[in-house]
Amino acid sequence: MRKMILEVRPKDPLMGMPADAPDLNRAVKEFLDRVESVKMIEFLKVDFSCGEETVVAEITVKEGYTASDLELPEILGSLEVLKADGRTYTCFLRCVVRDEFLLEKMREFDMDVIWTSPLYKSRDLHVYACIGDAEDLNKVLRLMSTYGEVQNVIFEEATFSNDPLSGLTRRQRDLLLAAKQYGYYEYPRRINSQQLAEKVGISKATAIEHLRKAEARLISTLLAGY
Protein backbone atom coordinates (compact mmCIF):
# COMPACT_ATOMS: atom_id res chain seq x y z
CA MET A 1 0.00 0.00 0.00
CA ARG A 2 1.03 3.56 -0.67
CA LYS A 3 -0.05 6.98 0.42
CA MET A 4 -1.20 9.39 -2.29
CA ILE A 5 -1.50 13.16 -1.89
CA LEU A 6 -3.44 15.08 -4.53
CA GLU A 7 -3.55 18.80 -5.17
CA VAL A 8 -6.66 19.79 -7.11
CA ARG A 9 -7.80 23.16 -8.41
CA PRO A 10 -11.60 22.89 -8.13
CA LYS A 11 -13.84 23.74 -11.06
CA ASP A 12 -16.71 24.91 -8.87
CA PRO A 13 -16.55 25.60 -5.09
CA LEU A 14 -20.27 24.76 -4.90
CA MET A 15 -19.68 21.33 -6.49
CA GLY A 16 -22.29 21.92 -9.17
CA MET A 17 -25.21 22.14 -6.77
CA PRO A 18 -28.53 22.24 -8.65
CA ALA A 19 -30.00 25.66 -9.31
CA ASP A 20 -33.38 24.46 -8.06
CA ALA A 21 -31.96 24.17 -4.51
CA PRO A 22 -31.72 27.87 -3.59
CA ASP A 23 -31.64 27.34 0.20
CA LEU A 24 -28.79 24.87 -0.06
CA ASN A 25 -26.82 27.07 -2.46
CA ARG A 26 -27.28 30.12 -0.26
CA ALA A 27 -26.29 28.31 2.97
CA VAL A 28 -23.12 26.82 1.50
CA LYS A 29 -22.16 30.02 -0.32
CA GLU A 30 -22.53 32.12 2.84
CA PHE A 31 -20.22 29.73 4.73
CA LEU A 32 -17.62 29.68 1.93
CA ASP A 33 -17.69 33.46 1.61
CA ARG A 34 -16.57 33.77 5.25
CA VAL A 35 -13.95 31.03 5.25
CA GLU A 36 -10.45 31.31 3.83
CA SER A 37 -9.44 27.67 4.36
CA VAL A 38 -10.28 24.47 6.23
CA LYS A 39 -7.55 22.07 7.37
CA MET A 40 -8.47 18.71 8.89
CA ILE A 41 -6.56 17.86 12.08
CA GLU A 42 -8.21 14.64 13.23
CA PHE A 43 -10.80 12.28 11.75
CA LEU A 44 -12.93 11.05 14.65
CA LYS A 45 -15.66 9.33 12.62
CA VAL A 46 -16.25 9.10 8.90
CA ASP A 47 -19.18 7.25 7.33
CA PHE A 48 -19.62 8.46 3.79
CA SER A 49 -22.38 5.96 3.02
CA CYS A 50 -24.59 7.48 5.75
CA GLY A 51 -23.49 11.07 5.20
CA GLU A 52 -21.88 11.42 8.63
CA GLU A 53 -18.51 12.92 9.44
CA THR A 54 -17.04 14.03 12.78
CA VAL A 55 -13.69 15.84 12.63
CA VAL A 56 -11.47 18.37 14.36
CA ALA A 57 -10.40 21.07 11.93
CA GLU A 58 -8.58 24.37 11.78
CA ILE A 59 -10.76 26.96 10.07
CA THR A 60 -9.23 30.28 9.01
CA VAL A 61 -11.79 33.00 8.37
CA LYS A 62 -11.39 35.90 5.98
CA GLU A 63 -10.52 39.42 7.13
CA GLY A 64 -13.45 41.07 8.89
CA TYR A 65 -14.98 37.84 10.21
CA THR A 66 -14.74 36.21 13.65
CA ALA A 67 -15.80 33.01 15.40
CA SER A 68 -19.35 34.31 15.66
CA ASP A 69 -19.56 34.12 11.86
CA LEU A 70 -18.54 30.45 11.79
CA GLU A 71 -21.93 28.87 12.40
CA LEU A 72 -22.27 25.87 10.13
CA PRO A 73 -25.48 25.86 8.08
CA GLU A 74 -28.04 23.61 9.78
CA ILE A 75 -28.38 21.65 6.56
CA LEU A 76 -24.71 20.59 6.93
CA GLY A 77 -24.48 19.88 10.68
CA SER A 78 -23.01 21.62 13.72
CA LEU A 79 -19.78 23.39 14.65
CA GLU A 80 -18.17 24.21 18.01
CA VAL A 81 -15.13 26.46 18.41
CA LEU A 82 -12.56 24.89 20.76
CA LYS A 83 -9.64 27.34 20.48
CA ALA A 84 -8.85 30.67 18.82
CA ASP A 85 -5.55 31.89 17.38
CA GLY A 86 -6.04 35.14 15.49
CA ARG A 87 -8.27 34.39 12.51
CA THR A 88 -7.70 30.63 12.85
CA TYR A 89 -10.07 28.58 14.99
CA THR A 90 -9.75 24.96 16.05
CA CYS A 91 -13.24 23.55 15.69
CA PHE A 92 -15.23 20.40 16.35
CA LEU A 93 -17.43 19.69 13.33
CA ARG A 94 -20.17 17.12 13.15
CA CYS A 95 -21.69 16.83 9.70
CA VAL A 96 -24.93 14.90 9.32
CA VAL A 97 -25.93 15.32 5.69
CA ARG A 98 -29.52 14.56 4.77
CA ASP A 99 -29.76 16.55 1.54
CA GLU A 100 -29.86 14.01 -1.30
CA PHE A 101 -27.48 15.94 -3.56
CA LEU A 102 -24.79 16.35 -0.87
CA LEU A 103 -25.32 12.79 0.33
CA GLU A 104 -24.69 11.49 -3.18
CA LYS A 105 -21.51 13.59 -3.35
CA MET A 106 -20.28 12.17 -0.04
CA ARG A 107 -20.97 8.62 -1.17
CA GLU A 108 -18.59 9.12 -4.10
CA PHE A 109 -15.78 9.14 -1.51
CA ASP A 110 -16.89 5.82 0.03
CA MET A 111 -13.99 3.87 -1.46
CA ASP A 112 -11.77 1.09 -0.19
CA VAL A 113 -9.05 3.51 0.93
CA ILE A 114 -8.05 5.14 4.21
CA TRP A 115 -8.58 8.90 4.11
CA THR A 116 -5.90 10.66 6.12
CA SER A 117 -4.09 13.99 6.49
CA PRO A 118 -3.25 16.31 4.91
CA LEU A 119 -6.76 17.32 3.90
CA TYR A 120 -7.05 20.99 3.08
CA LYS A 121 -9.71 23.04 1.30
CA SER A 122 -9.86 26.62 0.12
CA ARG A 123 -11.75 28.23 -2.74
CA ASP A 124 -8.80 27.78 -5.10
CA LEU A 125 -7.10 24.60 -3.86
CA HIS A 126 -8.14 21.23 -2.46
CA VAL A 127 -5.60 18.78 -1.02
CA TYR A 128 -6.60 15.16 -0.40
CA ALA A 129 -4.60 12.26 1.02
CA CYS A 130 -5.42 8.58 1.20
CA ILE A 131 -3.79 5.18 1.65
CA GLY A 132 -4.57 2.14 -0.48
CA ASP A 133 -3.39 -0.20 -3.18
CA ALA A 134 -2.67 0.91 -6.75
CA GLU A 135 -6.10 0.02 -8.13
CA ASP A 136 -8.02 1.93 -5.45
CA LEU A 137 -5.70 4.94 -5.62
CA ASN A 138 -6.33 5.13 -9.36
CA LYS A 139 -10.08 5.22 -8.65
CA VAL A 140 -9.54 8.17 -6.31
CA LEU A 141 -7.43 9.93 -8.92
CA ARG A 142 -10.15 9.49 -11.55
CA LEU A 143 -12.79 10.83 -9.15
CA MET A 144 -10.75 13.90 -8.27
CA SER A 145 -10.20 14.71 -11.93
CA THR A 146 -13.98 15.17 -12.25
CA TYR A 147 -13.92 17.84 -9.54
CA GLY A 148 -11.18 19.96 -11.06
CA GLU A 149 -7.68 20.09 -12.49
CA VAL A 150 -5.25 17.75 -10.76
CA GLN A 151 -2.11 19.86 -10.43
CA ASN A 152 0.15 17.58 -8.45
CA VAL A 153 0.26 13.93 -7.35
CA ILE A 154 2.66 12.75 -4.64
CA PHE A 155 3.23 9.13 -3.60
CA GLU A 156 4.75 8.19 -0.23
CA GLU A 157 5.28 5.03 1.77
CA ALA A 158 2.25 4.32 3.95
CA THR A 159 2.83 4.53 7.70
CA PHE A 160 0.48 3.46 10.48
CA SER A 161 0.24 3.78 14.25
CA ASN A 162 1.05 0.92 16.66
CA ASP A 163 -2.52 -0.32 16.26
CA PRO A 164 -2.35 -2.90 13.43
CA LEU A 165 -6.05 -2.34 12.66
CA SER A 166 -5.37 1.34 11.89
CA GLY A 167 -4.27 0.21 8.43
CA LEU A 168 -7.76 -1.04 7.59
CA THR A 169 -10.74 0.79 6.23
CA ARG A 170 -13.76 1.15 8.54
CA ARG A 171 -15.66 -1.59 6.70
CA GLN A 172 -12.70 -3.99 6.80
CA ARG A 173 -12.12 -3.35 10.51
CA ASP A 174 -15.79 -3.80 11.42
CA LEU A 175 -16.10 -7.02 9.41
CA LEU A 176 -12.86 -8.45 10.81
CA LEU A 177 -14.00 -7.78 14.38
CA ALA A 178 -17.41 -9.28 13.62
CA ALA A 179 -15.72 -12.36 12.17
CA LYS A 180 -13.74 -12.81 15.39
CA GLN A 181 -16.80 -12.17 17.56
CA TYR A 182 -18.94 -14.76 15.78
CA GLY A 183 -16.23 -17.43 15.68
CA TYR A 184 -15.29 -17.30 12.00
CA TYR A 185 -11.60 -17.69 12.90
CA GLU A 186 -12.09 -20.46 15.47
CA TYR A 187 -11.27 -24.08 14.62
CA PRO A 188 -13.63 -25.59 13.82
CA ARG A 189 -15.46 -22.48 12.68
CA ARG A 190 -18.67 -21.60 14.50
CA ILE A 191 -19.88 -19.63 11.49
CA ASN A 192 -19.17 -19.72 7.75
CA SER A 193 -18.77 -16.82 5.32
CA GLN A 194 -22.43 -16.95 4.22
CA GLN A 195 -23.66 -16.80 7.81
CA LEU A 196 -21.22 -14.01 8.65
CA ALA A 197 -22.44 -12.01 5.66
CA GLU A 198 -26.04 -12.42 6.83
CA LYS A 199 -25.08 -11.31 10.34
CA VAL A 200 -23.66 -7.99 9.10
CA GLY A 201 -26.17 -7.47 6.29
CA ILE A 202 -23.98 -7.73 3.21
CA SER A 203 -23.53 -10.25 0.38
CA LYS A 204 -21.25 -13.24 0.75
CA ALA A 205 -19.04 -12.00 -2.11
CA THR A 206 -18.62 -8.59 -0.47
CA ALA A 207 -17.82 -10.15 2.90
CA ILE A 208 -15.16 -12.42 1.40
CA GLU A 209 -13.62 -9.53 -0.55
CA HIS A 210 -13.37 -7.28 2.53
CA LEU A 211 -11.97 -10.10 4.68
CA ARG A 212 -9.33 -11.02 2.13
CA LYS A 213 -8.21 -7.41 1.76
CA ALA A 214 -8.17 -6.93 5.54
CA GLU A 215 -6.16 -10.11 6.07
CA ALA A 216 -3.69 -9.18 3.32
CA ARG A 217 -3.14 -5.72 4.82
CA LEU A 218 -2.67 -7.10 8.33
CA ILE A 219 -0.12 -9.65 7.13
CA SER A 220 1.78 -7.00 5.12
CA THR A 221 1.86 -4.70 8.17
CA LEU A 222 2.84 -7.35 10.72
CA LEU A 223 5.52 -8.90 8.49
CA ALA A 224 6.96 -5.63 7.17
CA GLY A 225 10.74 -5.94 6.96
CA TYR A 226 10.81 -9.76 6.92
Instruction: Please write the tens of the pLDDT for every residue from 91-140.
Output: 999 998 888 888 898 899 998 898 888 899 998 899 999 998 899 999 99
Residue 194, pLDDT score: 95
- How high is the mean pLDDT of the chain? 88
Structure confidence by residue, pLDDT tens digits, 167-214: 788 889 889 999 999 999 998 999 999 999 999 999 999 999 999 988
- What is the pTM for the complete model shown? 0.72
What average pLDDT does range 141-154 have in this prediction?
A: 93
More confident residue, 217 or 141: 141
| Distance from C-alpha of 127 to C-alpha of 27, rounded to nearest angstrom | 23
Evaluate whether 106 touches 48 at the Cβ level (below 8 Å).
Answer: yes
Under the banding of pLDDT at 50, 70 and 90, the label for residue 218 is confident
Q: Which residue, 105, 83, 84, is CA-closest to 95?
A: 105
Architecture of domain 164-222 in this structure: Orthogonal Bundle (1.10)
Check whether 57 has a pLDDT greater than 90.
yes
CA atoms within 13 Å, Cβ hemisphere of 120: 12
Chain mean position to CA 62: 26
Evaluate whether 128 touches 8 at the Cβ level (below 8 Å).
Answer: yes
Under the banding of pLDDT at 50, 70 and 90, the label for residue 165 is confident
More confident residue, 65 or 29: 65
Check whether 224 has a pLDDT greater than 80.
no
Check whether 48 has a pLDDT greater than 90.
no
| Distance from C-alpha of 78 to C-alpha of 145, rounded to nearest angstrom | 29
Check whether 23 has a pLDDT greater than 60.
yes
CA atoms within 13 Å, Cβ hemisphere of 82: 10
Structure confidence by residue, pLDDT tens digits, 77-92: 899 999 999 999 999 9
Residue 161, pLDDT score: 63
Residue 43, pLDDT score: 86
Q: Which residue, 139, 141, 114, 115, is CA-closest to 214?
A: 114
- pLDDT cut 90: percent of the chain above it: 50
Q: In which region does residue 201 sit, left (phi positive, over 0), alpha (psi from -120 to 50) or beta (all else)?
A: left
Bridge partners, residue 14, by sequence? none
| Distance from C-alpha of 127 to C-alpha of 17, rounded to nearest angstrom | 21
Q: Which amino acid, residue 73?
A: P
Domain boundaries, the chain: 2-157, 164-222
- The values of phi and psi at residue 21, to 5°, are -120, 65
